[in-house]
A = this chain, B = another copy of it.
Amino acid sequence: MLRIPFDQLHETLAQVLQRLGFSAGRAQTCARLFAETTCDGVYTHGVARFPRFVAMVRNGSIDVAAEPVAITRFGAVERWDGRRGPGNLNALAAMERAMALGREHGVGCVSLGNTNHWMRGGTYGWQAAAAGLIGICWTNTMPNLPPWGGVQPCIGNNPLVIAVPRASGPVVLDMAMSQFSYGALESYRQRGELLPVEGGFDAEGNLTRDPAAIEQSQRPLPTGYWKGSGLSVVLDMMGAMLSLGNATHQLPADPLREAGISQVFLTMNPAAFGAAAEAERLADEIVASVHHCRPAKEGSKVRYPGEKTLQVRAENRKLGLPVDPAVWQQILAM
């Protein structure tokens, strides 16, 4: 891995985006979101994903100039049309508006149809939590996961993000509805490792820890079997129904053509419920109670969701962001 300084990476991506037709300001923001994702250690959805993003601009799936627009407004909720613009810029704007609604009404919601892949979902959770708000958001995806009891990929892995603000570091859960992504299966296979737990079915329909067998059967497991399968379905329903956008079954099962997806951004303002200071104290206490739990492995520690992020972020800011040399060459040539 190369180590590229944050600012150099950011500037390089921004220049590529400007050459693709992004305005200067939007290129800066979009590039920053990619760089921050890699900086935070979510390597699958940061710079490594940039070439696919560029390919989707070039094949017309992403309209670089399109800005999202509010279609309906009612009380504390709005429905937006993402107009097939860049998914991360759309999501950032939708969460920003949901945050304003949450500040004004205590709770706020923006639904966003006709948008594109938001890259790292956690980004929008961190965004809300940094402002002292609870942020909940989810997206549907193209069909890529068999539901429990089914063998075809009829449902999406529909990531769900829940972020809780905390003065000494927010707690941010960012979970897809598959137990392992195809990217994770590939990594385990390349390292010659079995999965730590059963991750899908083999061609004979038996549960297995063999990543290659699951890649072959195309039957990864939903998180928690029937539970994640059901959660995927209700997230898709809420996303499509509130945005009047596409549901999973209406999306092309092609990662390079997965455009026009549906998302929901929900915020809650703890201060609006009264006694923000007490809520802050409670947040710290709960984190402490998790840390005090006796670990399964001597010397290890039970962690809360997102705990490693601040540390990885600081390390990558200092040492430079880890980037695959082949990906970097590809980007420099764009």
Contact = CB atoms under 8 A, between A and B. Distances in A.
A72 interface: yes
A67 interface: no
Contacts of A151: 293-296
Contacts of A272: 74-75, 77
A128 B250 CA distance: 27
Contacts of A77: 105-107, 268-269, 272-273
Given A106-B75, A286-B247, A290-B154, A237 B197 contact: no
Contacts of A85: none
Given A76-B75, A207-B197, A285-B249, A109 B107 contact: yes
Contacts of A294: 150-152
Contacts of A270: 241-242
Given A294-B151, A296-B149, A274 B171 contact: no
Interface in A266-287: 266, 268-270, 272-275, 278-279, 282-283, 285-286
Given A147-B293, A164-B237, A171-B237, A274 B71 contact: yes
B289 A106 contact: no
B240 A282 contact: yes
**Interface-central residue, A155, A249, A286, A297, by most chain B CB under 10 Å:** A286
A303 B150 CA distance: 9
A76 B289 contact: no
A138 B83 CA distance: 34
A285 B237 CA distance: 10
Interface in A95-131: 104-109, 111
Contact of A233 (B223, B238, B305): B305
Contacts of A75: 76, 104-107, 272
Contacts of A249: 285-286, 289
Interface residues of A, number: 83
Contact of A171 (B234, B240, B302): B234
A300 interface: yes
A205 to B, nearest CB: 7
Nearest to A264: B268
B179 A224 contact: yes
A97 to B, nearest CB: 13
A79 interface: yes
B289 A248 contact: yes
6 contacts: A150-B295, A223-B227, A227-B228, A233-B304, A247-B285, A249-B289
